[in-house]
Amino acid sequence: MSGTERSHFELHGEEPTCSTGGVWLSCIACGEQFPPFETVRYVCDDCDGLLEVRYADLPTWNDFEGRGVWRYDAALPFESGVSLPEGATPLHDVPRLKSSIGVGRLRVKHEGMNPTGSFKDRGMTVGVRVAEQMGVERLACASTGNTSAALSAYGSRAGLETLVLLPQGKVAAGKIAQASCHGARILEVDGNFDTCLDIVGDLADRGDVYLLNSLNPFRLEGQKTIGLEILEQFRDEEGSYPDRIVLPVGNAGNTAALYKCFRELVASGALESSDVPKLTGVQAEGAAPMVEAIEENRAETRRWESVETSATAIRIGNPVNAPKALPGIRETGGTAAAVADEEIQAAQQELAREGVGVEPASAASIAGLRTLREEGVVTEDEEVVCLTTGHLLKDPDAAVEAGTEPETVPGTTPGVRDHLGLE
Ligand SMILES: *Cc1c(COP(=O)(O)O)cnc(C)c1O
Ligand SMILES: [Zn+2]
């Protein structure tokens, strides 16, 4: 680990004069600081580096009260926002999976239980609040589906116009249904997710729209609350903090958000650096630029022009938050793994048999944990939380494919009994 990488873990710097109410933006590459709400910016004016939100005061556990994302307002730029409400998701026990994988403890944080069925709601409640602050009228995102569902719901609720760009033919049915019913204008782009993001990024640069992809640093503030909730729930129910958090990776926004959560808790004294969970990212083999960068020990990802996986939510070849997420994986002692679509489907079935219904991308976390356990990277005594990011019903076609075949029977009781082989 080099000296510069280690210093990344610490949050340093005095409150600059450009801060508003103790909040400012800081470039992760060159350290330049910017006022948070004066003008819209997504990257550094000087070097195009990613921005992160900084605070003059960082909270500890006693500063939190209430339920859901806004329980953590002391760690957020505002005290409230358009809320449906989101967060406070279950931390499931999965005893059969725990023994079949073979770890000390295994809990599943099911983010599919958010209002629109994915963790994106946590980011949107904060992102849309910021949009209101900036006085913008039109919100937009590129999406593999779930961001569009969340933006459509939260944007409409706030009375704002919403525009979503989706890769044509590559978005699960439930997600399009949501975006459309909640009122977004949907543009189906002839290209993949990364193309959609390029285009919406151009529109945002021209001031045509306010961008609510995870490039927007405020969205990650909302998603940071996943980490706060996991640590509190696990500590209260298991008596310790988890050793490892395993999560699916697309644009690596969540990986970046969890890392920021840990850094802030360590800086405020709420968490010992030795208690920081190992961040472990999982991608599908057909879309694994983060895994490649970790394996080849590179500071940046290489853009994969062509990506393919049935886990459409993580079908991404150019993870925009990689410069924030790669140090997070490395500094916490975590790693990254790639899994085959068949392994994802098997994990989706296993979770579903324990009553936890998740979409394919979410099941990648379980599939990745199994792989890493088999390789001996994860040890048998580890206490692990797997993040499942979206609900089973998001992708009904995948669910039907992973499930049992319906059997055709006659419309009579004797006919049904006969079919079942009952005497
Ligand atoms: C958005 C999404 C992901 C990817 O999350 P990132 O923060 O972009 O890495 C994974 N799973 C589901 C279900 C998603 O909607
Ligand atoms: Zn910069």
Q: Distance from the CA of 31 to the center of ligand 2, in angstroms?
A: 6
Nearest alpha carbon, ligand 1 atom 2: 313
248-280 pLDDT, tens digit per residue, is: 999 999 999 999 999 999 999 999 999 999 999
- H-only helix segments in 183-216: 193-205
Is the domain of 249 the same as that of 378? yes
Which atom of ligand 1 is nearest to 223's Cα? 7
Do 384 and 365 touch, CB atoms closer than 8 A?
Answer: no
- Residue 393: inside a domain: yes
| 255 φψ region: left (φ > 0), alpha (ψ -120 to 50), beta (else) | alpha
- Residue 65: inside a domain: no
What DSSP string runs through 166-186? EETT-S-HHHHHHHHHTT-EE
Taking residue 306's Cβ as centre, other Cβ atoms within 10 Å add up to 8
Helix, strand, or coil (residue 356) = coil
- Residue 150: inside a domain: yes
Is 362 near ligand 1, meaning CB less than 6 Å away? yes
Pairwise CA distance, residues 217 & 96, whole Å = 38
Is 213 near ligand 1, meaning CB less than 6 Å away? no
Q: Distance from the CA of 361 to the center of ligand 1, in angstroms?
A: 7
pLDDT at 116 over 60: yes
Do 313 and 174 touch, CB atoms closer than 8 A?
Answer: no
What's the first-to-final CA gap in the chain, in angstroms? 69
Domain stops at, among 211, 243, 269: 211
The residue count for the chain? 423
∠70-71-75 over CA atoms, to 5°? 80
Is the domain of 351 the same as that of 389? yes
Q: pTM for the complete prediction?
A: 0.96
- Residue 408: inside a domain: no
Mean pLDDT of the chain: 96
Is the domain of 163 the same as that of 229? no
pLDDT band (50, 70, 90) for residue 2: very low
Is the domain of 129 the same as that of 242? no
Domain count within the chain: 3
Instruction: Identify the bridge partners of residue 283 per DSSP, sorted by sequence position.
Output: 338
Domain containing residue 197: CATH number: 3.40.50.1100
170, 251, 282, 395, best to mutate for ligand 1 pocket (most atoms within 8 Å of CB): 251
* pLDDT attached to residue 6: 41
Give the mean pLDDT of 217-221: 98
- Residue 66: inside a domain: no
Helix, strand, or coil (residue 383) = strand
9: domain range?
Answer: 3-55
pLDDT at 13 over 80: no
Q: Can you say whether the dihedral through the CA atoms of 344, 345, 346, 350 is positive or negative? A: positive
Provide the total of helices (H) and of strands (E) in the chain, helices listed first.
14, 13
Is the domain of 159 the same as that of 195? yes
